[in-house]
Amino acid sequence: MPHVVFSGSDAGRFTGGRTELEVTATTFRRLVRELDERFPGLGERVEVGMAVAIDGVIYQDAYAAPLAEGSEIVLIPKIGGG
Amino acid sequence: MNYIIPQSELKIVGTRPVRPDGVDKVTGRATFGADMTLAGMIWGKMLRSPHAHARIISIDTSKALALPGVRAVVTAADFPDIASEEAFVGEGPMNFRDLSRNCLARDKVLYEGHAVAAVAAASQSVAEAALELIDVTYEVLPHVIDVEAAMAAGAPILHEDMFTVGIEPKPTKPSNVAKRVAFAKGDAEAGFREADVIVEGRYTTQPVHQAYIEPHACLAQVAADGQAHIYSSTQGQFMVRAYCAKVLGWEIADIRSYPMEIGGGFGGKTLVYLEPVALALARKAGRPVKMVMTREEVFRASGPTSGAVIEVKLGARRDGTIVAAREVLKYQAGAFAGSPIGPGCMCGFAMYDLPNVDVVGYDVVSNRPKVAAYRAPGAPITSFAVESAMDDLARKLKIDPIALREMNGARDGSKTHYGVTHRDIGFLATLEAARSHPHYSAPLKPGQGRGVACGFWFNIGGESSGAVHVNEDGSISVVSGNPDIGGSRASMAMMAAEVLGVPIEHVRPIVGDTASIGFSHLTGGSRVTFATGMAVTQAAERVVDQLKQRAAQIWEIPPEAVEWKDGKAYPAGLNAGAFEPLTLAQIALKAGRTGGPISSEVTLNAQGAGPGFGCHICDVEVDRETGHVKILRYTAVQDVGKAIHPSYVEGQIQGGAAQGIGWALNEEYIYDKDGKMENAGFLDYRVPVASDLPLIEAVMVEVPNPRHPFGVRGVGEVPIVPPMAAVANAIRAATGLRMPDLPISPPKLRAALDAAAGAKAA
Amino acid sequence: MSKHHVTTKINGEETEFLCETQETLLDVLRNTLNLTGSKEGCASGDCGACSVIADGTLVCSCLMLGVEAEGKSITTVEGIAEGETLHPVQRQFLEHAALQCGFCTPGFIVATKALLDANPDPTEEEARYWLAGNLCRCTGYDKIIRAVMDAAAEMRGEARAA
């Protein structure tokens, strides 16, 4: 089961403080849905406001980003720029 | 990754051709936002709040409407009242309700300069006269400017519906703290107990403006059926279209947004101020409406970046290994929530491999213009603090400052405190290049000092479209949708030319409007050469495939038997047939007969943008009588991935460094007791001028990004991150004084020098 | 409000225009004469983006009234090139990539021409102080100064050859 880490404190208010989860989702899209099922509102928060770093590569707005067992999967605040 | 063309075989990428829009720019022919005119055009002007914080009781526009020559007046009542809707729309969290209220105030004005109403009239002077006739009744409220004052109990509250997010239990009283964020790795408390040496500091920075020389400008035209054209100087024509549609409640397809040449943005033109208002006026007036901000309006009413208070604590072992780091950041968001506190929390320690880290940040509103993105938003502020503390730590440990960073520096496989592991980065290579640069070991005279500081920025990818068309004579057109703020259109042409194997003179790039090219995320985040370059490169590759197929048809051989080299089709090997090579021109001539126009448009959402790192070395000389700091020598080292056009990469590095130097030494907003900006002009808002700076040596270290066909890494934002600490550390070296409060302007430095002398004497 | 009738010479051409009392020369150039090469960056004479040469003197056209152009000879950025032939200053700016957004460039081109007309052999420091009235936010001035010094050298070389 892919292991997901929430970086920062954005997710805590949905998960009751938990920052690490095992999930069944294998893509970012499925992750969003799974998070919404388990913690209502979290999935949308992740989809709109977070990026996912998989083994160090940052994916932003990518439903197909693959989550695999054994990967380092970290959800971080979305990045912009100026 | 296999780069599309081995680096040693590149013919165009890496050279320095003259930019295709260059002649227009040096002759004054290039058309910027305010240069655009349309027949029947009238002028729009904005009425702005004279108060830093007030309730709007009433607005009476009747006298203004009655003035001869006035064609339309709008207020927030002419915009739909949008419910709070958060979307991440490119350059940072954006709440459309806030954006709408920032364009025209509803219920309350939240900063001096906040737009309240707008007028369109036959001439600028009539429009200005009309503004005087608009009667606004205000109930003035107490205001708060300073970030810690805004956080304090009893501070005037800007938004009654703002309850701090990220605090448990959920607060029941509104406050000016929009949110609290926190990142942690390991156990910082335990780490500090282990430390042999501890360094602490409290740092402050003032809001600074991007200070692009071109004020915001746009021209709007709306037809009777609601179809609109908007010409503006913007970092994103698709963003303008989308934001205007949202704020006005119009359909996106009804708005055609044209990117004029833009006179600087640096993040400050990644949102809209005038455009929705100009469109509303144009619709009401039935005439094209031009709106241009004055320089004063730019300062009073367009977003600067945050001012901040930052506290840093570092703990290290005697050998230089940093065992614990803590940071508390309070960033000003201005009138509406949305400072870059997230990146601020992530960037300060991002370049180091630390076991125990604890970072907390606050996004705080106050009665100042809403902040807008400014080149690596959030990072320069945090790095000013962290890199100053690192310098103090190096001094305490008696370790060379670059060596200290090398010891603790992030490398491939290092895990940041925000949980992401670095991959394929160039920090150590950058440090080594800095350490071995002649500047680092050049002798200094008494009264002079040298400072070093580092910086990091993520760089982003995102959605881009790029099209490559083969014209009937074999010349090439490249179309993309990103306003060119630093020479990117030249790089697009160069990458396409490299793939096609033709001289750059035959490849002409244009930046298309929203109806002429597929969607592109705006220009910012150091993304264009990376993401749009990727789209253009792929489009060029598909064109090459098509060219081979057409040659195959002409020769009547299978397409696999055709090679493409140096702009020509060749039969692949003797078995394919003894055909003379076909040039682009020859194939283009037969395009119709072989299937139709030869062209490709690629759309993508580029992932895998590589972060960038910089290390700057700064020498200063301090005039103890005046407190004036002279920059003697400046070297900026940066890993740039692959420099498509080295002159433009150098330009980004030099420009970012200059902005950082201004931020360090002179730039700040000065407010009077009523919350009004006192220095809203270039005389008293002091940006660096030519006589303030030496030549700036830009050293490019090429550590290619394996996720881009040419190895491109974003470069534009990193260079503004190190300079403030580099300058402060140089001043520390020259004077023995740590200056933790920016800007280090002459009166401040002189006062510190006096105090130190007095303390010595006493 | 009745307008003033002004007769002047702009980029070598006899020109007439009407303007209001308070209109600056910059306003007239941009809005009446459609010479939009000169830019407004500040309207207070601090940024130099509106630089023109009036009777041989470098001025900020935002600090000059339209009526003050009467009888004068004005050179704007549009008059620096000779037809299709770029001035050495313009060419060196392109060679050196001394522009990024290009907004300050017209002002710098005009100010540099005025510098080299007054002093064909400036030191780097003299060039920097002369150009201190022209703000650039994109380049950090490095490539601009290199372009100016090379343009000066080129123009001195040509003069010697002639």
Asked whether the beta carbons of B420 and B413 are under 8 A apart, the reply is no
B631: left (phi over 0), alpha (psi -120 to 50) or beta: beta
Asked whether the beta carbons of B311 and B330 are under 8 A apart, the reply is no
Q: Which residue bears the tokens 């609601």?
A: B226
**3-class state of residue C72 by DSSP:** coil
Residue B707 placed within a domain: no
Terminal-to-terminal C-alpha distance of chain C:
54
In this complex, which of B165, B374, B707 lies closest to A82 when CB atoms are compared? B374
Max distance between CA atoms of chain C, in angstroms, equals 56
The full DSSP string for A17-41 is T--EEE----BHHHHHHHHHHHSTT
Backbone angles phi, psi at A11, to 5 degrees: -85, -25
Asked whether the beta carbons of B69 and B306 are under 8 A apart, the reply is no
> Quick check: A12 pLDDT over 90?
no
Q: Over chain C, what is the mean pLDDT?
A: 96
Residue B432 placed within a domain: no
The dihedral over CA atoms of B231, B232, B235, B240, expressed in degrees to the nearest 10, equals: -70
Q: Which residue bears the tokens 């009234």?
A: C65
State the Cα–Cα distance between residues C145 and B627, nearest whole angstrom: 27
State the Cα–Cα distance between residues A51 and A4, nearest whole angstrom: 12
Backbone angles phi, psi at B701, to 5 degrees: -100, 120
Residue B736 placed within a domain: no
Q: Do B404 and B469 reside in the same domain of the chain?
A: no
Whole-model pTM?
A: 0.96
- What pLDDT, on a 0 to 100 scale, did the predictor assign at position A10? 81
> Quick check: C4 pLDDT over 80?
yes
CB contact under 8 A, B377 and A82: yes
Collect all residues of chain B within an 8 Å Cβ-Cβ radius of residue A58: 420, 458, 607-609
- What pLDDT, on a 0 to 100 scale, did the predictor assign at position C1? 65
In this complex, which of B32, B486, B693 lies closest to C100 when CB atoms are compared? B486
> Quick check: A81 pLDDT over 90?
no
Q: Do B178 and B316 reside in the same domain of the chain?
A: yes
Test the C interface: residue of B23, B27, B686 with most C CBs within 10 Å: B27
- What pLDDT, on a 0 to 100 scale, did the predictor assign at position B218? 98
Q: Do B402 and B527 reside in the same domain of the chain?
A: no
CATH of the domain at B327: 3.30.365.10
State the Cα–Cα distance between residues B277 and B89, nearest whole angstrom: 20
- What pLDDT, on a 0 to 100 scale, did the predictor assign at position B532? 97
Structural domain of B533: 7-30+461-606
Name all domains of chain A by residue range, CATH numbers in brackets. Answer: 3-77 (3.10.20.30)
Where does the pLDDT of residue A13 fall: very low under 50, low under 70, confident under 90, or very high at 90 and above?
confident
Q: Element (H or E) spanning B655, and its range?
A: helix B646-665
CB contact under 8 A, A82 and B422: no
pLDDT along chain B (762 residues), means of 10: 76 96 97 97 98 98 98 97 66 78 97 98 96 98 97 97 91 96 96 98 98 98 97 96 94 96 96 98 98 98 95 98 98 95 96 98 97 96 98 98 98 95 94 98 97 96 96 97 93 97 97 96 93 97 97 95 96 87 96 97 94 97 97 98 96 98 97 95 97 98 92 96 98 98 97 91 69
> Peptide bond preceding B169: is omega within 30 degrees of 0, i.e. cis?
yes
Nearest to B247 by CA among B113, B101, B369: B101
- What pLDDT, on a 0 to 100 scale, did the predictor assign at position B259? 97
Terminal-to-terminal C-alpha distance of chain A:
37
The more confidently predicted of residues C90 and B86 is C90
State the Cα–Cα distance between residues B198 and B315, nearest whole angstrom: 4
State the Cα–Cα distance between residues B604 and B585, nearest whole angstrom: 29
Asked whether the beta carbons of C47 and B682 are under 8 A apart, the reply is yes
As a three-state string, the secondary structure of B258-305 is: EECECCCCCCCCCCCCCHHHHHHHHHHHCCCEEEECCHHHHHHHCCCC
Name the closest residue on chain B to residue A46, using Cα atoms. Answer: B88
Residue B706 placed within a domain: no
Tokens of B288: 């094209």
Residue at a domain's end among B606, B622, B644: B606
Q: Do B394 and B477 reside in the same domain of the chain?
A: no
Reported ipTM: the value is 0.97
- Residues belonging to chain A with any Cβ–Cβ distance to chain B shorter than 8 Å: 5, 7-10, 12-13, 17, 48-49, 53, 55-62, 65, 72, 74, 76-82
CB contact under 8 A, B340 and A80: yes
Cβ under 8 Å to A: B residues 92-111:
92-93
Residue B104 placed within a domain: no
- What pLDDT, on a 0 to 100 scale, did the predictor assign at position C162? 41
Q: Do B479 and B356 reside in the same domain of the chain?
A: no
CA C99 to chain centre: 15
Q: How far is CA B298 from CA B115, B230, B303, B569, C2, in A?
A: 12, 20, 8, 54, 32
Residue B86 placed within a domain: no
For chain C, which chains pass the contact test of at least 3 CB pairs under 8 Å? B
Q: Do B25 and B171 reside in the same domain of the chain?
A: no
Beta-bridged to residue B671, according to DSSP, are B677
Residue at a domain's end among B420, B450, B480: B420
In this complex, which of B25, B687, B688 lies closest to C99 when CB atoms are compared? B25
Tokens of B255: 């708005």
Q: Do B226 and B314 reside in the same domain of the chain?
A: yes
Nearest to B369 by CA among B105, B141, B578, B134: B105
Residue at a domain's end among B569, B589, B606: B606
Q: Do B202 and B269 reside in the same domain of the chain?
A: yes
Name all domains of chain C by residue range, CATH numbers in brackets. Answer: 4-79 (3.10.20.30), 88-161 (1.10.150.120)
Residue B615 placed within a domain: no
Asked whether the beta carbons of B107 and B99 are under 8 A apart, the reply is no
CB contact under 8 A, C94 and B264: no
Shortest distance, CA B621 to any CA of chain A (angstroms)? 32
- What pLDDT, on a 0 to 100 scale, did the predictor assign at position B95? 87
> Quick check: C147 pLDDT over 50?
yes
State the Cα–Cα distance between residues B735 and B701, nearest whole angstrom: 32
Q: Do B225 and B349 reside in the same domain of the chain?
A: yes
- What pLDDT, on a 0 to 100 scale, did the predictor assign at position A9? 78
The dihedral over CA atoms of C151, C153, C159, C161, expressed in degrees to the nearest 10, equals: -120
Residue B619 placed within a domain: no
- Write the single-letter amino acid at B264: G
| Residue B532: DSSP 8-state | I
Beta-bridged to residue B316, according to DSSP, are B197, B322
Tokens of B461: 């990818």
Backbone angles phi, psi at B235, to 5 degrees: -85, -5
Nearest to C62 by CA among C34, C78, C37, C38: C38
Q: Which residue bears the tokens 């010349």?
A: B475
Collect all residues of chain B within an 8 Å Cβ-Cβ radius of residue A4: none
Q: Do B287 and B395 reside in the same domain of the chain?
A: yes
Sequence length of chain C is: 162
- Write the single-letter amino acid at A43: G
Question: Could you give the number of structural domains in chain B?
Answer: 2
In this complex, which of B21, B654, B687 lies closest to C142 when CB atoms are compared? B654
